Structure 1
Amino acid sequence: MQPLSVVGPGADAVVRSLATRLEGRVATVRAAERETGTGEGTGVADGGLAASTSTAEPNPDLSTTVTLAEDGTWSVSGSDGTFTDLLETLAPTHDYVLAAGFTRLRVPTVRLTGDTDEGSDAGSEGPNEEEIAGDIVETAINPEDLDLEALAGRIDSFEPYVTLEELVAEAKASPMAERSGAIATFTGRVRVTDSPDDDRTERLVFEKYDGVAENRMDDIRKRLESRDEVFEVLLHHRSGVIEAGEDIVFVVVLAGHRKQAFRAVEDGIDQLKEEVPIFKKESTESEEFWLHERE
């Protein structure tokens, strides 16, 4: 699934217009009106054949509420979950998720400055670059300055959000699935600590050597799939900021029997760690450092 965040004045209009230019199932997420006296907003989005929703940056005083209209559209608001939880929920059934107005989302982001003077903070209505958690893929002053047709054409080149469930579903859809008796998976995640006395890890940052990393993973996949009874191998490594407890890397193997599946999964993650140029920065409670600089 491909996520995209749009922030700044007119973000909601951009999301709604962009959604009509994308083929496939699109979810749109927007900030709801603030509740009187709470000081917090609720996340709301539109549901139906082309759009659906869940909670984003919710009001902590609300439990989850689902509203279903007679025409089949629906909306959700409440305090359960995070935006990452939302992505995990939407990814298996949606091709795109477009969010409007949230600067803290760690996904590709379009920034609208709302100011005719890019170099000046005075009077600027849009967020500064430092306030945006995701990678900024495009900047414009106002919505009308964006070429939405071009943006719709580029969106699939941005960093996708891939889940283990999606990869397993892809493996099950393989033409070789009828000959398969096993699907084995590996999920690597951010470990908080090795022992109670260790400094706790707060987050990791991964940077890929663009192009080279993908080619190396493709080479690993081809080698593993050349083995007898190994029908399909899927590898995915996330990049950017990944918080403690979140998933980093997936390996999925479709094979004839469990022994071949387990061996290919173990060899797949070992070879990925040894051969693929992905650099890791660790942030703990007391320091921040690149792992390769300590080796």
Structure 2
Amino acid sequence: MEYATSRHRRRRAGGVADRLADRLAERGRVGVVRAGDPDVPDRTTYTVGDGWTGAGPDADVDDVLDDLARDHDYALLVGFPDARVPQIAVGDAAVEDPALRVDPDDPDLDAAVEAVEAADPFETLSSLVAALKRSPRADYAGAIATFTGRVRALEDDEDEWTESLTFEKYEAVAAERTAAIREELEARDGVLDVRLHHRVGRVDAGEDIVFVAVLAGHRREAFEAVEDGIDRLKEEVPIFKKEVTVEGEFWKHEQ
């Protein structure tokens, strides 16, 4: 009975996801990622905007999201309650603190679209580099330089092990200041396009936190803009982090 109930809930969630995907397809390219059948564990299926479907036992949801982020505007996950994305709970699905809960028979798709649009964008280094390569000014570029900041577990051999960092930011102010940094970097001679992204929420040890990617005519301009970009992000954008170590936890400013 547990198995049958689980499959029934997944079908209901899948139906809502399909209807939401149709609505989002009016705004951009959509990828739908589905957890595998319980009889075939660890199998992920995903469908891209042109109808192509793929599946594999070794597919990891983060890897699939990384692939989709390069050339999709939206991705919907069905059956991944622990994924690091905002959750839309269908009916009485056991989802902790969902962004939205909808009726499976009469879902409020307008509210679901609003919840998707309000979510922090899912970006990876690959998706940002792909965006730079699609830049209208890419024909003038001879270099792409990047920086990736990650959660460091240890400072030295005597340090306490850091399990995770949790990031929060003043959304409106952070967005305004990040946009100003990008605009000023792009105004430099030789810099053609810039992408900046800082994750929010919990980030575990070894995972990526922040990305800076620069498209430039030559490597020197690219390297200098990347260095200045990450320095200014840390100094000017109001981001706070909670560090969780094996001994306890504490908040501090990102700088």
With the length of structure 2 as denominator, give the TM-score of the two structures: 0.85
Q: Which residue of 2 aligns with 1:62?
A: none
The code of the aligned residue for 2:221 comes to Q
Q: Which residue of 2 aligns with 1:170?
A: 131
Q: Which residue of 2 aligns with 1:63?
A: none
The code of the aligned residue for 2:197 comes to H
Q: 1:9 to 1:204 in 2, by over 3 A?
A: farther
Q: 1:30 to 1:255 in 2, by over 3 A?
A: closer
1:42 pairs with 2:42: yes
1:30 pairs with 2:64: no
Residues 17-75 of structure 1 deviation map (CA, whole Å, 9 limit, x = unaligned): 2122222432222333323xxxx833332546545xxxxxxxxxxxxxxxxxxxxx544
Question: Is contact 2:88-2:98 (8 Å) kept?
Answer: yes
Which deviates the most, 145-154 or 13-22? 145-154
Q: Where do 5+ consecutive residues of structure 1 fail to align?
A: 1-6, 52-72, 115-125, 130-134
Q: Which residue of 2 aligns with 1:139?
A: 101
Q: How do 1:193-212 residues align onto structure 2 when only pairs under 5 Å count?
A: 193-212=154-173
Q: Which residue of 2 aligns with 1:21?
A: 23
The code of the aligned residue for 1:127 comes to A
Question: Is contact 1:8-1:113 (8 Å) kept?
Answer: no
Q: 1:128 to 1:226 in 2, by over 3 A?
A: closer
1:231 pairs with 2:192: yes
Q: 1:94 to 1:178 in 2, by over 3 A?
A: closer
Let me know the Cα RMSD of the aligned residues: 2.5
Q: 1-side partners of 2:59 and 2:244: how far apart?
A: 24
Which residue of 211, 226, 230 corresponds with 1:250?
A: 211
With the length of structure 1 as denominator, give the TM-score of the two structures: 0.74
Q: 1:128 to 1:26 in 2, by over 3 A?
A: closer
Aligned pairs, how many?
245
The code of the aligned residue for 2:71 comes to T
Q: 1:183 to 1:29 in 2, by over 3 A?
A: closer
After TM superposition, give the deviation of residue 220 of structure 1 in Å.
1.0
The code of the aligned residue for 2:80 comes to F
The code of the aligned residue for 2:62 comes to T
Question: Is contact 1:9-1:113 (8 Å) kept?
Answer: no
The code of the aligned residue for 1:151 comes to A
Q: Which residue of 2 aligns with 1:77?
A: 56
Q: Which residue of 2 aligns with 1:107?
A: 85
Q: 2-side partners of 1:176 and 1:252: how far apart?
A: 15
Q: 1-side partners of 2:53 and 2:11: how far apart?
A: 26
Q: 1-side partners of 2:248 and 2:47: how far apart?
A: 43
Instruction: Indicate the SS of the match to 1:194.
Output: coil
Residues 147-172 of structure 1 deviation map (CA, whole Å, 9 limit, x = unaligned): 11442355223211112122222222
The code of the aligned residue for 1:183 comes to I
1:277 pairs with 2:255: no
Q: Say which structure is richer in helix.
A: 2
Q: 1-side partners of 2:78 and 2:246: how far apart?
A: 32
Instruction: Indicate the SS of the match to 1:216.
Output: helix
Which deviates the most, 233-242 or 164-173? 164-173
In our comparison, the structure showing a higher alpha carbon Rg is: 1
Instruction: Indicate the SS of the match to 1:136.
Output: coil
After TM superposition, give the deviation of residue 202 of structure 1 in Å.
1.4
Q: 2-side partners of 1:98 and 1:266: how far apart?
A: 34
Q: Which residue of 2 aligns with 1:90?
A: 68
Q: 1-side partners of 2:83 and 2:239: how far apart?
A: 22
Q: 1:179 to 1:279 in 2, by over 3 A?
A: same
